[in-house]
DNA sequence: CGAAAACTTGATTAGCATCAAACCAGGTGG
DNA sequence: CCACCTGGTTTGATGCTAATCAAGTTTTCG
């Protein structure tokens, strides 16, 4: 069900050699995409990708720029190819709360596939590269390849699991516990060199339901304890055994 | 797309009169179900209901009895027909946290449709009546009637919205704010006579991330203030204007 | 370089947890 | 029928955690 073997060193693109289908520039771009295997179109093979008749915009965002806003009438979902996106809502108290993060190969804005408005604001935390998948495109591909629907449902369930985890591990317990769990979660979005993105104190506060002062104190303490090290202000290196031990202690204490 | 007109006073059942299809006892039960219109099979018409070849068990649970456990290998989803079910997980600290409630016409255990284990324990809070929908049945009906898949996806999105709301309104802010928001949420599960189910202090604590003592103090205070009245220990009557006013004040203060 | 933004640190306070004890309703069995 | 027990609830006294208020310090950027 997955893509045919590929050889990046080959001079001619395998699509042209192995398949007698008209050349489709969008399909080639998707075939070459580093996250395709883990992204929504991972279930589609080269032939099926040829059927893409819509433009898939490649979007780049700088930190703080929105991918979409909750009020928008959604017409597309987005696959995150690089960087971290935060999904945030404002509570009726007027506070902003980050309810989830999305990293490499995550699909956000699924609700647009149902013709609904977005359920949250999606804002870039780091430099973000994303693909815009118009609803019409997904509908069309889903008709031809029902496996895509199953994948979509799995992603919904994945988002739900994520939300439940935030409720149980990131929204309850002592401030220190929540911070430790956040650092553990951030390792899921680590970069090739092993460093992780370190959110602003504001963002940490919005994720963990604490003030920026408390977040700052906790980060400082963990630096002193050697659990994390911050080569630069927006990145950290984690001493994983120390982090796990700290979590274990916090759960016991 | 929806069900044909029905007249409950008619002596002969409309299925027999209007449709030349073999009689199917399960289909008749479903046609007569009070929540069908709002439940998963609301998108199916009488004819399509005839295609049900699986037994849909009718389940009754007393408070505290589990519908399923998180470790179970899920083979069915459940439509709640009456009562309130809580979805709860235990955190790695060993605490139990209620992450969502499901009432009349909610569908729980959707993840079983993907062949996964359940993501949480589902436990009856009140006397609960539910229908067990085997995965095979849903798969089969979805093949014949793709509209069902869309409905399923809407329910996933609905659960996600619910989870996000719990994160923003029920897991952050002062203890009083969270309690007031919980009471507001509980009005969604109100009974015909306008009373609402009042959870145990334990349950309130597990939903709002507070101790049973704090929950008890808050409930007592709200009774003194006249925001709620408790005709019996497991039910409350809410003075809605007073509740909304209290919420407004708490958001401002 | 200077201003703004983000972060850190300290002192004080408010809110909630904890510990402890009484209270109450509903069953059970003598 | 009442004494008794049990599990849930309420209330009080005390202490700790994290919010708040208030300066500083560092970083960023025009």
pLDDT in tens, B60-118: 999 999 999 999 999 999 999 999 999 999 999 999 999 999 999 999 999 999 999 99
Residues A98 and A181 in one domain: no
- Band of the pLDDT at A22, cuts 50, 70, 90? low
Residues B198 and B148 in one domain: no
In a domain, B219, yes or no: yes
B251, B184 in Cβ contact below 8 A? Answer: no
Number of domains in chain A: 2
Chain B CB contacts of A92 below 8 Å: 169, 247, 251
Residues A178 and A108 in one domain: no
B173-228 per-position pLDDT tens digit: 999 999 999 999 999 999 989 999 999 999 999 999 999 999 999 999 999 999 99
Half-sphere exposure of B231 (CA within 13 A, CB side): 9
What is the domain-level CATH number for residue B160?
Answer: 2.60.120.10
In a domain, B203, yes or no: yes
In a domain, B24, yes or no: no
Range of the domain at B147: 56-166
Tokens of residue B99, six digits: 């992450």
Mean pLDDT estimate for chain B: 91
CA distances to A70, A228, A249 from A238, in Å: 34, 5, 17
pLDDT of residue B95: 95
Contact B99 A164 (CB under 8 A): yes
In a domain, B8, yes or no: no
Residue A4 reports pLDDT greater than 50: no
Residues A49 and A130 in one domain: yes
Residues B178 and B139 in one domain: no
Q: How far apart are CA A229 and CA B51, in angstroms?
A: 62
What is the domain-level CATH number for residue B215?
Answer: 1.10.10.10
- Band of the pLDDT at A30, cuts 50, 70, 90? confident
Q: Collect all residues from A whose CB is shorter than 8 A from any CB in B.
A: 89-95, 97, 99-100, 110-111, 113-114, 116, 119-120, 149-150, 152-154, 156-157, 159-161, 163-164, 166-169, 171-173, 177, 209, 247, 250-251
Q: Using CA of residue B239, residue B242, residue B243, residue B244, what is the dihedral sign?
A: positive
Q: Which of A137-146, A160-169, B51-60 has the highest mean pLDDT?
A: A160-169
Which of A92, A95, A160 faces B156 most closely, judged by CB atoms?
A160
Residues B68 and B149 in one domain: yes
Tokens of residue B224, six digits: 């003194």
Residues A26 and A113 in one domain: yes
Residues B98 and B178 in one domain: no
Q: Domain ends where: A126, A143, A167?
A: A167
B234, B197 in Cβ contact below 8 A? Answer: yes
Chain B CB contacts of A114 below 8 Å: 150, 153-154, 157
In a domain, B65, yes or no: yes
Residues A183 and A142 in one domain: no
In a domain, A115, yes or no: yes
Tokens of residue B10, six digits: 């008619």
What percent of chain B shows pLDDT beyond 70?
A: 91
Residues B65 and B146 in one domain: yes
Tokens of residue A123, six digits: 């804002």
Residues A62 and A162 in one domain: yes
* Residue B197 backbone zone (phi > 0: left; psi -120 to 50: alpha; other: beta): beta
Write phi, then psi, for A191 (nearest 5 degrees): -95, 165
Chain A CB contacts of B163 below 8 Å: 99, 160, 163-164, 167
Chain B CB contacts of A149 below 8 Å: 149, 153
With a 7 Å cutoff on the CB, does A14 touch strand D? no
Residues A113 and A216 in one domain: no
CA distances to A42, A43, A48, A152 from A3, in Å: 8, 8, 10, 19
What value does the mean pLDDT take over residues B156-164? 98
What value does the mean pLDDT take over residues B235-253? 96
Q: How far apart are CA B160 and CA A163, in angstroms?
A: 7
Write phi, then psi, for A142 (nearest 5 degrees): -65, -35
Q: Collect all residues from B whose CB is shorter than 8 A from any CB in A.
A: 89-95, 97, 99-100, 110-111, 113-114, 116, 119-120, 149-150, 152-154, 156-157, 159-161, 163-164, 166-169, 171-173, 177, 209, 247, 250-251
A42-85 per-position pLDDT tens digit: 888 888 888 888 889 999 999 999 999 999 999 999 999 999 99
Residue A8 reports pLDDT greater than 60: no
Q: Domain ends where: A152, A167, A182?
A: A167
Q: How many CB atoms lie within 10 A of CB B137?
A: 20
pLDDT of residue B20: 52
Q: How far apart are CA A115 and CA B209, in angstroms?
A: 34
In a domain, B47, yes or no: no
Shortest alpha-carbon distance between residue B185 and chain A (Å): 14
Mutation target vs A (from B93, B121, B135; most A CBs, 10 A cutoff):
B93
Tokens of residue B140, six digits: 């089969």
What percent of chain B shows pLDDT beyond 90?
A: 75
In a domain, A35, yes or no: yes
**Beta strands B57-61; B107-108: pairing state:** unpaired
| pTM metric for this prediction | 0.92
Q: Domain ends where: B166, B185, B217?
A: B166
């Amino acid at each position: 069900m997955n893509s045919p073997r590929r050889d990046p060193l080959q001079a001619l693109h395998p699509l042209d050699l192995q398949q007698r289908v008209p050349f489709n520039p969008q399909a080639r771009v998707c075939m070459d995409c580093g996250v395709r295997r883990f992204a929504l179109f991972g279930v589609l093979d080269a032939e099926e990708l040829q059927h893409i008749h819509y433009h898939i915009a490649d979007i780049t965002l700088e930190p703080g720029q929105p991918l979409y806003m909750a009020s928008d009438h959604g017409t597309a979902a987005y696959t995150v190819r690089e960087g971290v996106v935060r999904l945030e809502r404002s509570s009726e108290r007027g506070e902003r709360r980050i309810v989830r993060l999305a990293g490499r190969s995550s699909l956000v804005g699924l609700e647009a596939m149902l013709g609904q408005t977005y359920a949250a604001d999606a804002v870039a935390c780091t430099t973000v590269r994303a693909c815009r998948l118009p609803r019409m495109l997904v509908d069309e591909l889903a008709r031809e390849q029902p496996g895509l629907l199953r994948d979509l449902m799995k992603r919904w369930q994945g988002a739900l699991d994520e939300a439940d985890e935030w409720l149980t591990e990131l929204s309850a317990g002592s401030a220190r516990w929540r911070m430790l769990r956040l650092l553990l979660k951030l390792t899921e979005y680590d970069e090739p060199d092993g460093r992780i993105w370190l959110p602003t104190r504001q963002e940490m506060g919005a994720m963990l339901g604490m003030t920026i002062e408390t977040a700052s104190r906790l980060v400082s303490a963990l630096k002193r304890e050697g659990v994390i090290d911050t080569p630069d202000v927006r990145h950290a290196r984690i001493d994983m055994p120390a982090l796990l031990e700290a979590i274990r202690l916090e759960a016991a204490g």
